[in-house]
């Protein structure tokens, strides 16, 4: 990964790509509310489908806003700053709710911890390098990691609701029983955690020279 010195681009706060990013941030309390209602207030499992739908739509805006910003020439420093923040808020809040309702438990919690720690590390590194006017571009592997991570969280949010579609398919892993949808989500979460470790190291290696200087 290469680092590059960047100049701030003019902000376009009401451009469509930024509006999509705002929408992704607005989706965070909606996803959390649906999951909280289902688990804490004992709402129906249909709320898991609502939360999953909102999450997927929000995740899709991450692809769309970047594409539109590049295609329409509406890239800005403001958008570059806000976009990863929106992603981290969406994924982090979903992971915390999944841990709270027991969908992620046992050893699977370590995969979530790895993902959250990496996000904090990279955010801190980006903030420090930004003061030096140094940009850290997103690699293709990091984009695949984000995609895989979103798939994992989507499957896990569906969780019990998705497992209910296959009532006779049960897996026992480390003395825990899980349905097929949850198993797929956990497997994808571990895969994304492994990619997270690699990409996190890649980012740190790219910025370490500036940290030492």
- Tell me if residue 130 falls in helix, strand or coil: helix
Per-residue pLDDT of the chain (213 residues; tens, 9 = 90+): 554 544 545 556 777 888 889 999 999 999 999 999 999 888 899 999 999 999 999 999 988 887 777 777 777 777 777 888 899 999 999 999 999 999 999 899 999 999 999 888 877 777 666 666 666 666 778 888 889 999 999 999 999 999 999 888 888 776 678 899 999 999 999 999 999 988 887 777 766 666 666
Where is 176: in which H helix or E strand?
strand 176-178
Where do we find the tokens 């991570």?
149
Residue 63 corresponds to which tokens in the numbers above?
């692809």
pLDDT at 159: 93
CATH number for the domain spanning 84: value is: 1.20.120
Range of the domain at 204: 4-212
* DSSP-H helix ranges across the chain: 16-39, 46-71, 77-100, 108-131, 140-163, 180-212
pLDDT at 179: 92
**Which residues, at least 6 apart from 64, have a Cβ–Cβ distance to it below 8 Å?**
17, 20
Domain count across the chain: 1
Where is 173: in which H helix or E strand?
strand 171-173
pLDDT at 17: 82
118: left (phi over 0), alpha (psi -120 to 50) or beta: alpha
Where do we find the tokens 């489908």?
49
Residue 213 class from Cβ within 10 Å (0-12 exposed, 13-18 middle, 19+ buried)?
exposed
User: pTM of the predicted model, to two decimals?
Assistant: 0.86
Widest distance between CA atoms in the chain: 59
């Amino acid at each position: 990964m290469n680092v590059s010195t960047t100049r701030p681009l003019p902000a376009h706060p009401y451009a469509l790509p930024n509006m999509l990013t705002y929408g992704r941030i607005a989706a965070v309390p909606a996803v959390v509310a649906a999951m909280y209602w289902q688990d804490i207030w004992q709402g129906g499992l249909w709320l898991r489908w609502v939360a999953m739908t909102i999450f997927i739509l929000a995740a899709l805006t991450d692809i769309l806003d970047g594409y539109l910003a590049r295609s329409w020439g509406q890239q800005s420093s403001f958008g570059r700053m806000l976009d990863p923040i929106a992603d981290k808020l969406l994924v982090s809040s979903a992971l915390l709710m999944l841990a709270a309702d027991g969908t992620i438990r046992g050893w699977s919690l370590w995969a979530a911890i790895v993902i959250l720690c990496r996000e904090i590390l990279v955010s801190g590194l980006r903030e420090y390098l930004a003061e030096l006017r140094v940009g850290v571009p997103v690699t293709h592997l990091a984009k695949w990691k984000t995609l895989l991570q979103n798939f994992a969280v989507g499957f896990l949010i569906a969780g019990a609701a998705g497992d209910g579609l296959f009532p006779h398919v049960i897996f026992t892993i480390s003395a825990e029983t899980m349905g097929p949808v949850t198993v797929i989500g956990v497997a994808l979460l571990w895969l994304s955690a492994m990619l997270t470790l690699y990409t996190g190291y890649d980012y740190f290696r790219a910025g370490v020279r500036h940290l030492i200087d």
